[in-house]
Amino acid sequence: MAAKKQSATFEENLEALEKLVERLEAGDLPLEEALADFERGVKLTRECQRKLAGAEQKVKLLMEENGGIKELPFDTDAAEDA
């Protein structure tokens, strides 16, 4: 049996998406290539959104306290100092 292809990480997908955007913004691709890149970009965007939603759900589950969600403010200053 062939090994199942491992899914790319969020960071890998984001990097690939950034490269596609750069190629599209350059504006020198033939129409067919631009459309193929755009389609790939849409797929990468959806995959990134799916992974972010999964991470958000996991954080909510970890923050669960006594059957309810305990929402904590995210203090960017404190996070940067840590």
d(C-alpha 9, C-alpha 16), whole Å: 11
pLDDT in tens, 48-78: 999 999 988 888 777 776 666 666 666 656 5
Query: Over the chain, what is the mean pLDDT?
Result: 82
Give the residue extent of every domain in the chain.
10-81
Which residues face 64 on adjacent strands?
A: 69
Q: What pLDDT, on a 0 to 100 scale, did the predictor assign at position 79?
A: 46
Q: Please give the CATH number for the structural domain made up of 10-81.
A: 1.10.287
Res. 17: pLDDT tops 60 = yes
pLDDT in tens, 38-48: 999 999 999 99
What single DSSP character describes residue 1? -
